[in-house]
Amino acid sequence: MVEHFLPTTLTETLDILDTNKVEIIAGGTDLMVQRRTWANTLPKFDQTINIIHVKELNFIRQEGSKLHIGATTSYTTLLQHPDVPQLLKDCISVLASPALRNIATIAGNIGNASPAGDTLPILYLYDAIIELSSKHRVRYVPIQDVIVGPRKTTIEYNELITSIILPLHDFSTVRFDKVGGRKADAISKISMAAAARIEDGVIEDIRFAFGAVGPIIVRDTGIEEELLGRTIEDIPDVLPTILSSIASRITPIDDQRSNKNYRSNVALNLLQDFLLTL
Amino acid sequence: MSNITFTLNHNVVTIDIDPTKRLLDVLRNDFHLTGSKEGCGEGECGACAILLNGKAINSCLLPVGSVQGQDVVTIEGLSQSRQGQALSDAYRDEGAVQCGICTPGMLIASHALLLENPHPTDDEIRIGLSGNLCRCTGYNMIVKAVKKASEDGEGLW
Amino acid sequence: MSLSLHGCGFTGSGEADHIKALIKLHKNEQDEVTILIAAVDMGQGVKTTMRKLVSTILEIPIEQVIYHHPDTNLVPDSGPTVASRTMMIVGGLVARAARRLKEEWQPNTEQLIAERYQQPEFIKWDQATFQGDAYPAYSWAINIVEVEVDKRTYEVTVKETWNIYDVGKAIDEQVILGQADGGQLQGLGYGYLEKMTRKDGRIQHKNVTDYIIATTVDTPIMHNYLMDNPYPLGPYGAKGAGELTLVGGASAVAMAIEQAIGKPIKNIPVSPEYIMELMTNE
């Protein structure tokens, strides 16, 4: 018999996941599009578990130097919370539309694992840790080990993303650039999250991550290390190496939104602009 | 099938229904509230927007199970309120309605915006309505209407 | 900047030979006047403007003028609601009928006035050779568009536009300005946003997510002006407006982008991908 579950507690949720083959719905803003049929006909689901009513998963908590974001926390809630880093807020404010932001979640962005997922470059940049819970254990997995390909994650059949943990950093500059088909309500053709901490003209920390230029988010800490300890004046000299290293790491495609050449060129232009305006 | 109980336009209702059925379909076909429109079915156009606990949500993407125990207001409910009247009057005066298909969603989004921000700037209005597509009006008269409602409707939001 | 025009009414001999529009005005014993025409109000405001026209000519309150959504059981065939013809051609007949009704007005008596389209003498059209006056009148527009192109992403921002429209006479200014806003945004989109391509015979932009139209935040600041240039055979000088406002936007925005990037443009929409190609190839 087909069942759709509507739990209200985490314990209930993990029990159900352990013994039923179900798809997890929170905001539903990706899944409900993917499974749509026609007017007045049910979307194509086998069994589902809708976790939107599990209040324990709706939270934002700062614990020491880490920010914990519950799985069902909406983008709008994040946008209005004082402890959420500016870079993440900058991203959310150009993501989707107000009505979608009112219910969509970062956990959904991760679970959907689209190469164009807008919050993902930020999660990679912050070295986010994803808390995956099942009935019998809790795992903490770095974001880059959760998403392994387009629409492919290592989340196990009985696991649920319960929170996203962001180690907080003091950056002196942050930037999120999204290039979409229009200025709102658009899927990214290419996106870049970048952040740096410059002290007395010296680069103490620098990070950049790209979305929609490959099957997964592109971030190469090896390339970032080339810049650590250098001064701002050094940047023009080392820039060509940085750009060609990034160029070899990105593998954009042609699709209905854009093409490889555009995505490559613009990714490099955005990085260059970030580095030269530090 | 599950029993879903929620507040719909200020009345408590219960319906025995598949919880993955889209709220848009439940409103239009089970409750015969056809004010919310299916402009795209993909969450892009905003014509299906309703208020869930006072926030604008695209009902074409909301499984009805998500409204269990929650407060839903549709355009039919909004139109009965003084705020809805103020918005409708402003839309009428400013020429903000042509074919009308985007209008229910636009009014919901306008109201949701004013609930958060009773005195928005033109830019803030545009951002608040950025998830509602309109092909007829070019948006300018709609933005003027929301501005007018926020000015004339002092104390309503 | 672009200068554009659009013909008003059916092309060539369409009105005279094919449509031969017929309209009626019916007055009941309560002196309420019903406009019997086939024109559909799909949001363009004809239920407002046609009633305004009749109430002004008859000098009666607009509440006394009735216009129901057309029912083909009840209305004569005044032709389809297309071709920028409704106010000029159909409204022209309605105005004539209204002036006749005013002259022949009998209070508290049922009256019915009918008017059928007659091609004006001065319009010369040869259907066999397709030569002559294609339209009785043209409406005109000038659109000036200012854009900004981002040098990193090649994205276009349409910042501000200044536009003037000659539709003869606006029966309702707000209605025409609404058309100006909406038509221009659509025209601009045609010029720089709305890509639709085919691959192996299949449309690649087949849903609302992929076919990109402007949102509120893509809309420029528009300054719209209307100029009077009355056409003697239109009601109060009105010509056609329905299609005009869409025409000029695409070329104006393409030319503005051309000026911004200093490269000749040969295709629309002028997408960022195309701009990049033009700017990076020599």
pLDDT digits (tens, 9 = 90+) for C101-157: 999 999 999 999 999 999 988 889 998 999 999 999 999 999 999 999 999 999 999
Tokens of B50: 């309703």
Q: Which of B136, B137, B146, B147 is best to mutate for the C interface (most C CBs within 10 A)?
A: B136
Residue C56: per-residue pLDDT: 98
**Residue B2: beta bridge partners?**
B17
Q: Is residue A129 a contact partner of residue A141, using CB atoms and an 8 Å limit? A: yes
Judging contacts by C-beta atoms under 8 Å, the chain C residues touching residue A270 are: 152-153
Residue B154: per-residue pLDDT: 83
Residue C281: per-residue pLDDT: 82
Residues 6 or more apart whose Cβ sits within 8 Å of residue C76: C22, C23, C24, C36, C37, C38, C114
Q: Which amino acid is at C188?
A: L
ipTM > 0.90 (yes/no): yes
Which of C177, C207, C216 is facing B139, going by the closest CB pair?
A: C216
pLDDT mean for each 10 residues of chain B (157 residues): 96 98 98 98 97 98 98 98 97 98 98 97 98 98 98 91
User: What's the whole-number mean pLDDT along residues C262-277?
Assistant: 97
Tell me how far apart the alpha carbons of residues B18 and B66 are, in angstroms, rounded to a whole number: 12
- Please judge whether A32 and B63 are an interchain contact, meaning their C-beta atoms are less than 8 angstroms apart: yes
CA distance B10 to chain C (A): 31
- Please judge whether C219 and B132 are an interchain contact, meaning their C-beta atoms are less than 8 angstroms apart: no
**Residue A161: beta bridge partners?**
A132
User: What's the whole-number mean pLDDT along residues A244-257?
Assistant: 95
A172 touches chain C (CB under 8 A): no
**Residue B12: beta bridge partners?**
B7
Tell me how far apart the alpha carbons of residues C133 and C121 are, in angstroms, rounded to a whole number: 11
Q: CA distances (Å), B41 to each of A23, A38, A111, C53, in order?
A: 21, 8, 22, 40
CA distance A147 to chain C (A): 24
User: Is A47 exposed, middle or buried, given 0-12, 13-18 or 19+ CB atoms closer than 10 A?
Assistant: middle
Residue A225 has pLDDT above 60, yes or no: yes
Residue C282: per-residue pLDDT: 54
Q: Per-residue confidence at C90, pLDDT binned at 50, 70, 90?
A: very high
Tell me how far apart the alpha carbons of residues B93 and A65 are, in angstroms, rounded to a whole number: 53
Tell me how far apart the alpha carbons of residues A78 and A89 are, in angstroms, rounded to a whole number: 7
pLDDT per position as a tens digit, C243-255? 999 999 999 999 9
Tell me how far apart the alpha carbons of residues A126 and A33 are, in angstroms, rounded to a whole number: 29
Q: Indicate the domain borders of chain C.
A: 18-116, 137-280
Residue C233 has pLDDT above 80, yes or no: yes
pLDDT per position as a tens digit, C180-197? 999 999 999 999 999 999
Helix ranges (DSSP H) in chain B? 23-25, 75-80, 82-94, 103-116, 122-128, 140-152
Task: Say yes or no: do domains C18-116 and C137-280 share a fold.
Answer: yes
Percentage of the residues of chain C whose pLDDT score is greater than 70: 100
Task: Please report how the helices B82-94 and B140-152 are oriented relative to each other, as an axis angle in degrees rounded to 10.
Answer: 130
| Omega prior to A142 cis, within 30 of 0 | no
- Average pLDDT score, chain C: 96
Give the C-side interface with B, CB within 8 Å.
Answer: 42-45, 174-175, 177-178, 180-186, 207-209, 213-217, 219, 222
Domain C137-280 has CATH 3.40.50.150: no
Residue A2: per-residue pLDDT: 79
Residue A14 has pLDDT above 70, yes or no: yes
Residue A46: per-residue pLDDT: 95
Fold designation for C18-116: Aldehyde Oxidoreductase; domain 4 (3.30.365)
CA distance B57 to chain C (A): 17
**What's the predicted TM-score (pTM) here?**
0.97
pLDDT per position as a tens digit, C63-82? 999 999 999 999 999 999 99
Of the candidates B50, B77, B63, B62, the one whose C-alpha atom is nearest the C-alpha of residue B2 is: B63
Residue C116: per-residue pLDDT: 98
